Structure 1
Amino acid sequence: MDDTGERRLAVIIEDDPDIRGLLETVLSQAGFETVSADNGIDGVAAVRQFSPVVTTLDVSLPGIDGFEAAKRIRAFSNTYIVMLTARDEEIDALQGLESGADDYVTKPFRPRELRARIEAMLRRPRHPNGDATTTGPVPTTGPAMTPVWTARADGAVPAAAAPAPARALAQQPTPSPAPSAPLPAADRAPESSEEGWLEHNGLRVNAEMRIAEVDGVELELTRSEFDLVAALMDSRRRVRSKADLALRLRGEDYVTTYYVNDADKRAVEVHMANLRRKLGDNIASPRFIETVRGVGYRLAALS
């Protein structure tokens, strides 16, 4: 249970029994009940059945690999996905993010780091319609899954057939930037066309509603993509470094003791490339987001 009394449930998709046991211990200590699966197909079925808040997903799985499992999960669920990858295979992390994962942890991982990353994700708001409907048959292909539940504080064991209720984290309003001296037209802040909305060159973002539109058409953005565009809109034309944006994706607004490595920065690049594609932005002549070589990103000049 969390502080609001809601049940916190996690699905663990991992074929290595030792790592699976470690994940169960770490998540149980963090206040989660756990359901475990040792292959991708059963793992997808468990996510559909139990609607977890968090799902940990190994890359190398029997049946279907972690990338395919992430794509299938993301088609119907907004669970937070943490991909587990081999330390020397950075490409796994990038592919995992492109498949719909929210974060990744390299193996062997430090339990305290995994727990910190999960808690940081839980502080990030979810889209109002983010908890996808989980009705429909549960796939039966592959070996049968035996759910493994951790003991609850009251000693009760939940019924495996009863899906967990959809959960949504509280929306946290984004504070308005402090007023500043007038800027040149090219450096002007996004305009506030309506309450809660920021607009820049036809791009409109509402941080509280988690909605982004281009020329009146709503965009289908992942949480990470939305967090990036919201951060840039909130920063006016100030440059945001890749390290700063990596921390933003973890739910940290300021530099902390968390280490930002090259893989974290590459992850920002992957999310930014996906965001630009959905915006229809031309990197050579950007309308919305421009790259500041060697530093990071900022809004393009007003057109």
Structure 2
Amino acid sequence: MDTILIVEDEPKLAALMHDYLTLAGYAVHCLDNGLDVVPWVRSHAPRLILLDLMLPGRDGLEICKELRDFSAIPVIMITARVEEVDRLLGLDLGADDYICKPFSPREVVARVKAILRRSPQFEQVARARLQIDEAQYRASFDGVALDLTPVELRLLNTFARAPGRVFSRDQLLDKLYSDHRVVTDRTVDSHIRNLRRKLAQASPGQDPIQSLYGVGYKLEL
């Protein structure tokens, strides 16, 4: 059963969403403090997060930004602040959708179902097989620790955030180097080769990074 995490400090609203999502067949857990979210997600890996913007402890945008450092779990932001800048900032930080207060609990259920339909089953498999902690520079594949360089870790994390998506060499270069150094696109090929070798060492016979001639690379498990 898919687990939905509700992060909302208004008890009545959290309870209402909890009841409707439970009736829709989901397992539901509620938190009311922003400081508790990241540790809980790291330990439990919910299928989707309903995240209020204004929370005690930490606000939702800050939480969403940290979640995207290590997780591709879909996030629906809940907010009473409808200013366009907040919407754009939230989406830039990795939010998948918004729901503005006041809203119908049926709308919440519909949005959750829509997001999960757009999130293929493959993404669940990818999250289960690939564990990435970018903050600690750690990753594992099929339970085996990977000895990755920082660039290789960023490369793998880029793929893991959008499994099945094809990235061109130029797109990958933009993700790999924060100092905008001048490198050739063949640098990506070198990193890909090294990453493939390390993934194969962790899980022999597996080659999850696929190349599309003249187009780029994608992650397929």
Say whether the fold is shared (TM-score over 0.5): yes
Residues 2-36 of structure 1 deviation map (CA, whole Å, 9 limit, x = unaligned):
xxxxx210111111111111121122122111111
Give the counterpart letter for 2:44 in structure 1: F
Cα distance in 2 for residues equivalent to 1:134 and 1:22: 34
Aligned to 1:210, the other structure's residue is in SS state coil
Give percent identity, aligned residues only: 40
1:67-106 aligned at under 5 Å gives the runs 67-86=61-80, 88-106=82-100
Between the two proteins, the alignment pairs up a number of residues equal to 144
Call closer, same or farther: CA 1:218–1:103 in 2, change over 3 Å.
Answer: same
Cα distance in 1 for residues equivalent to 2:170 and 2:90: 30
What does residue 58 of structure 1 align with? 52
What does residue 150 of structure 2 align with? none
Pairwise CA distance, 1:68:
0.4
Does the aligned pair in 2 maintain the 1:80–1:101 contact within 8 Å? yes
Pairwise CA distance, 1:88:
3.8
Aligned to 1:63, the other structure's residue is in SS state coil
Higher helix proportion (structure 1 or 2):
2
What does residue 122 of structure 1 align with? 116
Residues 170-202 of structure 1 deviation map (CA, whole Å, 9 limit, x = unaligned):
xxxxxxxxxxxxxxxxxxxxxxxxxxxxxxxxx
Does the aligned pair in 1 maintain the 2:70–2:133 contact within 8 Å? no
Pairwise CA distance, 1:215:
4.8
TM-score, normalised relative to structure 1: 0.43
Call closer, same or farther: CA 1:110–1:91 in 2, change over 3 Å.
Answer: farther
Aligned to 1:11, the other structure's residue is in SS state strand
Give the counterpart letter for 1:17 in structure 2: P
Pairwise CA distance, 1:97:
0.9
Call closer, same or farther: CA 1:216–1:103 in 2, change over 3 Å.
Answer: closer
> Which blocks of at least 5 consecutive residues in structure 1 are unaligned?
1-6, 137-206, 221-303
What does residue 11 of structure 1 align with? 5
Call closer, same or farther: CA 1:214–1:17 in 2, change over 3 Å.
Answer: same
1:213 to 162, 165, 168: 168
Cα distance in 2 for residues equivalent to 1:55 and 1:125: 13
1:141-152 aligned at under 5 Å gives the runs none
Does the aligned pair in 2 maintain the 1:55–1:79 contact within 8 Å? yes
Cα distance in 2 for residues equivalent to 1:212 and 1:104: 26
Does the aligned pair in 1 maintain the 2:6–2:50 contact within 8 Å? yes
RMSD: 2.8
2:39 is equivalent to residue 41 of structure 1? no
Cα distance in 2 for residues equivalent to 1:122 and 1:73: 18
Give the counterpart letter for 1:58 in structure 2: D
Residues 38-77 of structure 1 deviation map (CA, whole Å, 9 limit, x = unaligned):
1112012111111011101000011110000001111111
Cα distance in 1 for residues equivalent to 2:173 and 2:12: 44
Does the aligned pair in 1 maintain the 2:79–2:100 contact within 8 Å? yes
Pairwise CA distance, 1:120:
1.1
1:1-303 aligned at under 5 Å gives the runs 7-86=1-80, 88-126=82-120, 131=127, 133=131, 209-215=164-170, 217=172
Aligned to 1:42, the other structure's residue is in SS state helix
Does the aligned pair in 1 maintain the 2:74–2:95 contact within 8 Å? yes
What does residue 215 of structure 2 align with? none
TM-score, normalised relative to structure 2: 0.57
